[in-house]
Amino acid sequence: MHDLDGLSLQQLCNSVADAWRPRVAVDPIEFLPENVRFPSHWETTQFDFDSQPYARGVIQRFLMDDTKKKANLKWAARLGKTTLAISICIVMVKNDPCPMVVLYPDEDTLNNSLDGQVYPILDNTAFTAEQLPPLNQRNRTAIRFKECRMRIASGGKKSSVSGYPARVIIKIEVNKNPTRKSSEADPVLRVDSRAAGYARGVKILEEGTPTDKETCRSHELEISPDVQRLKYHVPCPHCKARQVLEFEHVKWQKDANGKSTMALARSTAYYECPRCSKKIEDHQRIEMIQGGVWLAEGERIDKRGRILGTPNVDGEIQQFELSALNSLLIDGWGVLASEFVDAQASSAQGNLQKLRKFQNEVLAKVWDPAQRITKAHKVAARLKCDDHQTIETLPKWTSFLTFTSDVGKIGEDLIFYWMTVAWGSPFTIPRGAIVDFGTEESKADFLQGWKDRSYAMHHNDARIRLWGQPAAIDSGDFTQEIYELCKPIRNCWPLKGDSRTNTTDLYRLGFARAGLSSRQIALKKKMSRPDLFEPSSDVTQGWRQALVEGRTSSADPGFVSLPADVCEQWETYRDFMDELTADQLVDGKWVGDDNEFGDTLRYARSLAECYVHGKYRGQWDRLPLIEAGETRGTAGLFRRSTGGK
């Protein structure tokens, strides 16, 4: 007997029986490397626990544990977070087809990932490739398999995370999802509610490198008492001691001057075991990292590899933290060491972006942009330098001075917070030393003191006159008054901080606008005659912060020291040193009171940069040096690598 479709009764009965027969689940640990394939031009062409050994523990301790509902991968870059997430989806399609959602932070990330990762993996994996519809029938809102569907959602598009139930939820780059003041509108929280209708079997996987402390979603889990935190412990190839890899144990050689260079860091870096102090070289990394295990807080591992103890937290939420030191997709320790040296050098010059990137993408740590409060005695210890002994005298390497001033007002009188800094060294970016500072409560006293000051070279009878040296005065809220004050003075610029331009430069030269018509301003620009000095608020604040926090040393260009006698009597100068550290970065803006001398120092640093490297070198006159009652130019004192006058 046959039915209309040509099936025999026996075949129909077998088909019905197969439909009711329980699905035999595959072991993900065996299934993934045997079945999941990547495009041929990728670094690896298949899912491989040898190159991604830490993935095994995530699958065992999260995916295969029915008591765990949610996992957060707080991982650095180049560890295969996204490929692991997609591979887990493939396992679910095989073992337990169910509605799924993949959430991206925005449309660009969604489109790039779909085209560059998701579909390439699904198309190269035979099991999923045969289930996908033809290219012309695919869409960007859902991926359809034979027995289930995967919804594609964007955190930047409110409607895309609504109205679709899901038992498996994957969040790609979760820390980049837009934050909302209302939890009702938060896409990361709203997408979790898609699983509310399922009593069991829910799996939520979040992945992403950390971001800023205030907005990082991974950080919220990191400090939660209800989250089980796990770290990857690897064995030392010498003493077998289990440890979490920390960057502080990466060592490298320095040059003859005791300075780190990117080249030396890359070629000589190694890892020093904190237990036995032996070197772990690059060729030993693979075996060490492949031998790693995930341990929760409260667990330990014995010499036989058995996990002992119980987790301090045994809830349904887990967080797996992993730095790039565990990545087998990088060449070795030297890659990370050279990146750190480069980031430190940029940080010393005020550009914190590379250091922030290193913190997030290499160390898998949140970035805290807020300044750490630095006590006056620590500022004194960090800025003290043996070759500059007393205030109002100059180091022997002095080539030129800068004179800068912040401006306030008491009643109708301007008040000037001024600072003299000596500059000069073999560096193309000069080293500095604070020579003198003070406050004048009238314009007349300020100008007269400026004209009268000269400073002694401590090793001979020479003196450098302050008047005529590069100078800049903050116009602030007193634009017209300061413009008029600066106009007749040689080498003096009115100054206005630039907090709007996103730049890596310490300064730019602009054009004063007060009291001028648009035609006059256009004419100045056409003639390339800038008359306004504009330090970058963000970059110079970053440099000042690096200086007082000790990230800049006397061996670095751009370092500024304090006289030894000021540092030794730091209690007397406490107010001055407190002003150097007063500003704080709050919600992306620098704020602070009693910060005048901190601002004056920032202006001096950027002005020195302009004097040495500025495009408009013709604006600067050569400056007089007083020696034994006679004057001579300073051109021979300062040797500019750029071949200046």
As given in the structure block, the two tokens for residue 42 are: 């990728």
The arithmetic mean of pLDDT across residues 349-353, rounded, is 76
The arithmetic mean of pLDDT across residues 490-501, rounded, is 85
What pLDDT was estimated at residue 258? Answer: 72
What pLDDT was estimated at residue 280? Answer: 96
- Helix 353-361 and helix 333-348: axis angle, to 10°? 150
Q: Which residue has the higher pLDDT, 498 or 98?
A: 98
Averaged pLDDT score across all residues of the chain: 85
CB contact burial 524-533 (16+ within 10 A = b; e otherwise): beeeeebebb
Inter-CA distances, 645 with 439, 468, 509, 601, 640, Å: 34, 17, 21, 26, 8
The arithmetic mean of pLDDT across residues 458-480, rounded, is 85
What pLDDT was estimated at residue 161? Answer: 63
- Helix 376-383 and helix 537-548: axis angle, to 10°? 90
Q: Are 170 and 100 contacting, i.e. CB atoms less than 8 angstroms apart? A: yes
CA angle 524, 525, 526 (to 5 degrees): 90
Other beta carbons less than 10 A from residue 484's beta carbon: 12
Q: Are 155 and 187 contacting, i.e. CB atoms less than 8 angstroms apart? A: yes
The partner residues of 309 in beta bridges, in order of sequence, read 299
Other beta carbons less than 10 A from residue 354's beta carbon: 17
The partner residues of 294 in beta bridges, in order of sequence, read 232
Q: Are 429 and 552 contacting, i.e. CB atoms less than 8 angstroms apart? A: no
Inter-CA distances, 113 with 159, 204, 525, Å: 20, 19, 45
What pLDDT was estimated at residue 371? Answer: 56
Residue with tokens 């500003």: 583
Angstrom distance (rounded) from CA 359 to CA 348: 16
The closest of 90, 82, 79 to 34, measured between CA atoms, is: 90
Q: Are 177 and 153 contacting, i.e. CB atoms less than 8 angstroms apart? A: no
pLDDT category, 3, cuts 50, 70, 90?
very low
What pLDDT was estimated at residue 157? Answer: 66
Q: Residue 215: which region, alpha, beta or left (left: phi > 0; alpha: psi -120 to 50)?
A: alpha
pLDDT of 580 > 80? The answer is yes
Chain segment 114-136, per-residue pLDDT in tens:
999 999 999 999 999 999 999 88
Chain segment 408-440, per-residue pLDDT in tens:
887 778 899 999 999 986 556 678 999 999 999
Is residue 414 within a helix (H) or strand (E), and if so which, with residue range? strand 413-423
Angstrom distance (rounded) from CA 169 to CA 188: 10
What pLDDT was estimated at residue 159? Answer: 58
What pLDDT was estimated at residue 587? Answer: 58
Angstrom distance (rounded) from CA 147 to CA 145: 6
Lowest-confidence range among 291-300, 424-433, 441-450?
424-433
What pLDDT was estimated at residue 632? Answer: 33
pLDDT of 370 > 70? The answer is no
The arithmetic mean of pLDDT across residues 343-367, rounded, is 86
pLDDT category, 2, cuts 50, 70, 90?
very low
pLDDT category, 589, cuts 50, 70, 90?
low
Chain segment 228-252, per-residue pLDDT in tens:
999 999 999 999 999 999 999 999 9
HSE value, Cβ hemisphere, 13 Å, CA-based, for 340? 22
What pLDDT was estimated at residue 160? Answer: 61
Q: How big is the chain, counted in residues?
A: 645
Q: Are 561 and 432 contacting, i.e. CB atoms less than 8 angstroms apart? A: yes
> 149-154 and 100-104 as β-strands: parallel, antiparallel, unpaired?
parallel
What pLDDT was estimated at residue 188? Answer: 84
Chain segment 142-177, per-residue pLDDT in tens:
999 999 999 999 886 665 666 688 999 999 999 988
The closest of 564, 204, 576 to 418, measured between CA atoms, is: 576
- SS3 of 268-312: HCEEECCCCCCEECHHHHHHHHHCCEEEECCEEECCCCCEEECCC
Angstrom distance (rounded) from CA 640 to CA 427: 9
pLDDT of 337 > 90? The answer is yes
Lowest-confidence range among 132-146, 358-372, 533-547, 610-624?
610-624
pLDDT of 523 > 70? The answer is yes
Q: Are 471 and 448 contacting, i.e. CB atoms less than 8 angstroms apart? A: no
The arithmetic mean of pLDDT across residues 96-116, rounded, is 92
Reduced to 3 states (helix: H, G, I; strand: E, B; else coil), residue 439 is: strand
- State the DSSP string of 159-206: GGGSS---SEEEETTGGGSPP-SSGGG-HHHHHHGGGTT-SS--EEEE
Chain segment 173-227, per-residue pLDDT in tens:
999 887 655 445 688 888 888 888 888 899 999 999 999 888 899 998 988 999 9
Q: Which residue has the higher pLDDT, 637 or 80?
A: 80
pLDDT category, 628, cuts 50, 70, 90?
very low
pLDDT of 303 > 60? The answer is yes
The closest of 174, 213, 539, 220 to 359, measured between CA atoms, is: 213
DSSP category for residue 351:
-
Inter-CA distances, 191 with 86, 93, 166, Å: 18, 20, 9
The closest of 176, 153, 154 to 165, measured between CA atoms, is: 153
Angstrom distance (rounded) from CA 405 to CA 403: 7
Q: Which residue has the higher pLDDT, 574 or 25?
A: 574
pLDDT of 103 > 80? The answer is yes
The closest of 58, 91, 64 to 228, measured between CA atoms, is: 58
The arithmetic mean of pLDDT across residues 450-459, rounded, is 86
Q: Are 419 and 601 contacting, i.e. CB atoms less than 8 angstroms apart? A: yes
Q: Are 161 and 190 contacting, i.e. CB atoms less than 8 angstroms apart? A: yes
Q: Are 436 and 430 contacting, i.e. CB atoms less than 8 angstroms apart? A: no
Chain segment 377-405, per-residue pLDDT in tens:
999 999 998 888 889 999 888 888 999 99
Chain segment 558-570, per-residue pLDDT in tens:
899 999 999 999 9
Inter-CA distances, 184 with 102, 161, 166, 167, 191, Å: 19, 12, 18, 20, 11
The closest of 469, 620, 475 to 534, measured between CA atoms, is: 475
Lowest-confidence range among 141-150, 339-348, 394-403, 515-524?
515-524
Angstrom distance (rounded) from CA 453 to CA 439: 14
CA angle 240, 243, 248 (to 5 degrees): 120
Angstrom distance (rounded) from CA 645 to CA 578: 39
Chain segment 591-621, per-residue pLDDT in tens:
667 789 999 999 999 999 888 876 544 455 5
What pLDDT was estimated at residue 123? Answer: 95
pLDDT category, 291, cuts 50, 70, 90?
very high
Reduced to 3 states (helix: H, G, I; strand: E, B; else coil), residue 269 is: coil
- Helix 596-613 and helix 537-548: axis angle, to 10°? 110
